[in-house]
Structure 1
Amino acid sequence: MKIGIIGGSGFVGTKLIASLQEELGTSTINIDKQQSARYADITHIADVLDKEALTSLLADVDVVVLLAAEHRDDVKPTSLYYDVNVQGMRNTLEAMDANGIKNIVFTSSVAVYGLDKDNPNENTPVDPFNHYGKSKWQAEQVLQEWYKSHADWQIRIVRPTVIFGEDNRGNVFNLLNQIATGKFMMIGKGDNQKSMSYIRNIVAFLVFLIHDQKGGYEVYNYVDKPDFTTNDLVYHTGEILNKPIPTVRIPYWLGLMGGYGFDVLAFVSRKKLNISSVRVKKFCAVTQFDSTKAMSSGFVPPYTMEQGLRRMLEAEFGK
């Protein structure tokens, strides 16, 4: 089996390639506009917006894994979300069709549900609140429409929640780093549920879907259980690192006002800052999602949430 990963030079793609390279009888290529720091030998530099390049590079591929996306909160211009996430999907499907490839695994996002939803499952109506979520949903709609005339395809959509793990430098790492360095301040009460996914588990699920031969069109939320509250996450982190638990709390309204202030500062300075109103909203929001379908598919996560958190903290902070 030959697997083509589009957008595999990032965090998830690097871990996925590592896992696939351990399998006998499997070969992998990575197509990305950025060079892979670890897998330059199998990486081909190309943009998901270049359909001609995709068509050429996907020759002889059996399964495509589409990871490429614009996902940061502060992408400018906002049209890039739709160019990359939506038009990139169209280009990928047409390149696959030209090569007779009928099997795709696409990483969407739980961002399609919006904020503060009541444990949504795959049948919950979508309600994205930002351009990232809207563009991911539009990409899914492209797939839905495509499947109507390509019923012999195998389409797997994964909507992961926030992913954490070794080598990640996203929001979870920033939170853990603040706790580890004593710079953390809680915004709000901290009792909001936070669904998360450990990197080695989500990669294992992607590999599981790559080898799934049932056919058809399926959508899966991916979440590792149990869900932690923000207070739980702070407590477990402090306990594992043997750090005092921060006690300073900022009311939500005050934290949000500060976020708006940083928005203005970012606009004036034309710089991307680590604090914004969107990030404050996301930090304080309930982000809890149902993953019953994924966990009933025959897949068994190799690590528990506690094991994943401990592995990340030990790798990143030497504890």
Structure 2
Amino acid sequence: MKIVLIGGSGFVGTHLIDRLLEIPGIDVLNIDKNNSEKYPELTRIGNVMDWQTLAHHSKGGNVAVLLAAEHRDDVSPTSLYYDINVEGMRNTLKAMDANGIKRLIFTSSVAVYGLDKDNPNETAAIDPFNDYGKSKWQAEQVLNVWYRNHPDWDISIIRPTVIFGEGNRGNVYNLLKQIAGGQFMMIGKGNNKKSMSYIGNIVTFIAFLIEKKTIGYEIYNYADQPDFTTKDLVRHTGEILGKKIPTARIPYWLGMMGGYGFDTLAFITRKKLNISSVRVKKFCATTQFDVGKVQASGFVPPFTLKEGLKRMLEMEFSNANNRQDTTNR
């Protein structure tokens, strides 16, 4: 079986290649606009905006996994979300159709539900609050229309929560870095629950779907259980690293004021900053999602959420690694 990853040079794609190469009888090809640092020999340069290049490189494939996306909070212009996430979907389907590939796994996002929802399942109302979520939902709609006209295809949509793990440099990494460095200050009370996905589990679930070999159209929320509150995440981080975490808190309204201040600074300097009003809002929001469908599928994640957190923290922020980083510098 030949698996074609589209946009697999980044964090999730690299871990997914690691996992797929462990499965006998599977060949992997990665198509990305950037070369893979770890797997350059498996990578061909191609862009989701160019369906002909996608079609050329994906010949002989059996399953496509679409990972390519614009996902940062501060992408400018916002039209890039729709160019990459929506038009990229159309181009991927066109390339697959040209090569007779009828199996697709698409990583969407729980951002399609919006913020502070009441534990939504896959049938819940769609209410994205930003352009990223809106573009992911539009990509799903493109895929839904395609499936209605191609009912013999096997399409799986995964809506993961925030993904963290070794090698990630996203919002979770920045938060853990602040905690590990003693620079963290809680915004709000910290009782909001945060569904999270450990990279070792999400890529194993993708591999599970590849091997499942069913025909149909399925949507899965993905998060690892049980959900942590923000206070839980901070406490576990302190315990794993053996650090005393500051207990100071600031009110939510003050945190948002600070976020708007950083928005203004980013606009004036034309620089992308790690703090923004959107990130403060997301940090304080409840992002909890129903994952009963994944649990009913028979999938068993190889790691608990706390084990995943421990693996990331020990690799990224352990004293041994910190000493090594200092020595290297």
Query: For 2:263 and 2:133, how far apart are their aligned partners in 1?
Result: 20
Deviation at 1:213, TM superposition (A): 1.4
Distance 1:39 1:111 in 2: 30
What TM-score comes out, normalization by structure 2 length?
0.96
For 2:297, the equivalent position in structure 1 comes to 297
Greater alpha carbon shift after TM alignment, 244-253 vs 82-91: 244-253
Match of 1:278 in 2: 278
Secondary structure class of the residue paired with 2:212: coil
**Residue 63 of structure 2 corresponds to residue 38 of structure 1:** no
Residue of structure 2 equivalent to 1:259: 259
- Counterparts in 2 of 1:113-192, with a 5 A limit? 113-192=113-192
C-alpha distance in 2, partners of 1:54/1:169?
A: 27
SS at match of 2:279: helix
Deviation at 1:55, TM superposition (A): 1.0
Q: Which residue type is aligned with residue 196 of structure 1?
A: M
Matching residue's letter, 1:237: T
Query: How large is the Cα RMSD of the aligned pairs?
Result: 0.7
* 2-structure distance, mates of 1:20, 1:236: 30
1:112 aligned partner, one-letter code = V
* Residue ranges of structure 1 left out of the alignment (5+ in a row): none
Higher mean C-alpha displacement, 285-294 vs 167-176: 167-176
Q: Identity rate of aligned residues, in percent?
A: 70
Q: 2:84 matched to 1:75?
A: no
Distance in 2, Cα, partners of 1:23 & 1:14: 15
**Hey, what does 2:48 align to over in structure 1?**
48
Deviation at 1:196, TM superposition (A): 0.3
Q: Which residue of 2 aligns with 1:28?
A: 28
Residue type of the partner of 1:115? L
> 1:318: how far off?
2.0
Cα distance, 1:256 vs structure 2: 0.3
Rounded Cα–Cα distance in structure 2 between residues aligned with 1:228 and 1:254: 24
| Runs of 4+ with >2 A deviation | none
Which residue of structure 2 lines up, in the alignment, with residue 11 of structure 1? 11
Q: Output the amino acid matched with 1:174.
A: N
Shift of 1:24: 1.4
Distance 1:51 1:214 in 2: 26
What 5-or-longer segments of structure 2 have no aligned partner? 320-329
Where 2:169 maps in the other structure, the secondary structure is coil
Q: Which residue of 2 aligns with 1:235?
A: 235
Corresponding residue for 2:326? none
**2:196 corresponds to 1:213:** no
Q: Are 1:287 and 2:287 matched, yes or no?
A: yes
Aligned-pair CA distance for 1:156:
0.2
How many residues end up aligned between the 2 structures?
319
For 1:22 and 1:127, locate their aligned partners in 2 and report how far apart those are by CA, in whole Å. Answer: 38
For 1:88 and 1:210, the matched residues in 2 are separated by: 21
Deviation at 1:317, TM superposition (A): 1.5
The AA in structure 2 aligned to 1:102 is K
User: Which residue identity lines up with residue 38 of structure 1 in the other structure?
Assistant: K
Distance in 2 separating the partners of 1:269 and 1:175: 23
Quote how far apart the aligned CAs of 1:260 are: 0.5
- Residue 150 of structure 1: CA displacement? 0.1
Deviation at 1:211, TM superposition (A): 1.3
Letter in 1 for 2:148: K
